[in-house]
Amino acid sequence: MAVLQFREALMQAIDEEMDRDEKVFIMGEEVAEYNGAYKVTEGLLDKYGFRRVIDTPISELGFSGIGVGAAMNGLRPIVEFMTFNFAVLAADQIINHASKVRYMLGGQASVPIVFRGPNASAGQLGATHSVAYDSMYAHFPGLSVIYPSEPDDAKGLLKSAIRSEDPILFMESEQMYGLKGEVSEEEDYTIPIGKAKVKREGSDVTVVASGKMYHIAKQAASELEKDGVEVEIIDPRTIKPFDIETVVKSIKKTNRCVIVDEAHPFGGMAAEVGFLIQREAFDYLDAPVQRVTLPDVNAPFSKPLFDLWLPSAKNVIDAVNTVTYRK
C-alpha cells in the first residue's frame, strides 16, 4: 500500500484513466497552467498537452455545457469546479441536460461525464462558499453522487466514475486534499459505485457518515470507546445509489443508529436515510434514529460561530448517548 495525499490519489486516478483511454480529458478553471486550484491536476498538462488538459474561462454554465456536448459525442470529460458552490451556475446543464439525455432520447445517447470538485464548507469562507450539495443533486434521476472520505476510496471510485456511461457528481472536501492515507497499489484499482463500507466494527450503535463527517465520527468513536461504547461506522461513499442494505445489516446487530451529515436538516441525506432505515429496519430499532446535521441557518464567518455551526465530535457523542439511553 502506498501512502498518498487525497489530492494525489485523485490525480493518480485521472492520470491512469487518461493514459488508458484517449477519449478522457479534463477541463476547468486553472486545471492546466496553474496545475489546478488544489493541485489535483499537477503535471497533467506537461504529459497530455492543451488538447486534453483545458483551462476554461470563469463560466461554469458555459464549460459544463461544452462538457455535456462532448460526452454526447463520444468523449469522456472530467469537469472540475473550483467549488460546487459555484456549480449552481451550471445546474441547468447538470440537471436539465446531463441527467435527462439518455431518458429523453430513449437510450440512443449517453452522457459519460464526471463533474468533480470540493463540496460543503472549507473554513471561514462565508455562507456562499459553505454549502453541501450532495443531497440536492441526489434528488434527480439520472445522476449518481459520490462523496469519498479517504484517499483509497477517492482513487478507486474516481476511476469507476470516469468509466461510467452516465453522469456522476464526484464531491470532495476542500479540507481533506492534504489528508494522507494508504492507497491500494493493485493494478487498475477500482471500487464499485454504490457500495458502502464498514470502516469500524462495533456492537452498540451504528453511525453513518461520509466525506469529512466520517472523520468527525471517528473522533467521536474513539472518545466513546473510553466509556465502553463500541461504535460501528459505515461510510456510504456513494450518496446515490445509496447502499441501505449494508446499513440495515449493521442495525440488526447494534439496534441503534446515528446519521452524521454536513448539510442542513430539512430534505438532506440524513432525512432520506432515516426514512429508509425506518422502512427497512424498524423492528430492529431500540431507539429512534438520531441525526447530527448543520443547524437550519447559513454559515457564519466568525470563527467561534463557525465552529459551533459545524457538526462536531461532541454532537455525535451526545446523539450516541441519546440512542443508547446514557443521557
% of the chain at pLDDT higher than 90? 98
pLDDT reported for residue 327: 72
Domain positions in the chain: 2-183, 197-323
pLDDT reported for residue 193: 98
Residue position matching grid coordinates 491512469:
16
Burial 277-292 (b: 16+ CB within 10 A, else e): beeebeebbeeebbbb
Residue 123 banded pLDDT, cuts 50, 70, 90: confident
Is the separation of the CB atoms in 157 and 193 below 8 Å? yes
Cα of first residue to Cα of last residue in the chain, in angstroms, is 41
* Distance of alpha carbon 149 from alpha carbon 278, whole angstroms: 26
Q: Which pTM does this prediction carry?
A: 0.97
Do the two domains 2-183 and 197-323 of this chain adopt the same fold?
A: yes
Cβ contacts of 43 within 8 Å, gap of 6 or more: 11, 15, 35
Class of domain 197-323: alpha beta
* Distance of alpha carbon 223 from alpha carbon 220, whole angstroms: 5
pLDDT reported for residue 161: 98
* Distance of alpha carbon 148 from alpha carbon 169, whole angstroms: 11
For 162-198, write each residue's pLDDT tens digit.
999 999 999 999 999 999 999 999 999 999 999 999 9
Q: What mean pLDDT comes out for the span 287-299?
A: 97
Residue 21 banded pLDDT, cuts 50, 70, 90: very high
Residue 165 among the catalytic residues: no
pLDDT reported for residue 237: 98
Catalytic residue among 17, 129, 174, 264: 129
Q: Which CATH architecture has domain 2-183?
A: 3-Layer(aba) Sandwich (3.40)
Catalytic residue among 8, 17, 29, 60: 60
pLDDT over threshold 90, residue 39: yes
Cβ contacts of 187 within 8 Å, gap of 6 or more: none
For 267-279, write each residue's pLDDT tens digit.
999 999 999 999 9
Residue 60 among the catalytic residues: yes
Look up residue 197 and give its three cell numbers. Answer: 463500507
The pLDDT mean for the chain works out to: 97
pLDDT over threshold 90, residue 73: yes
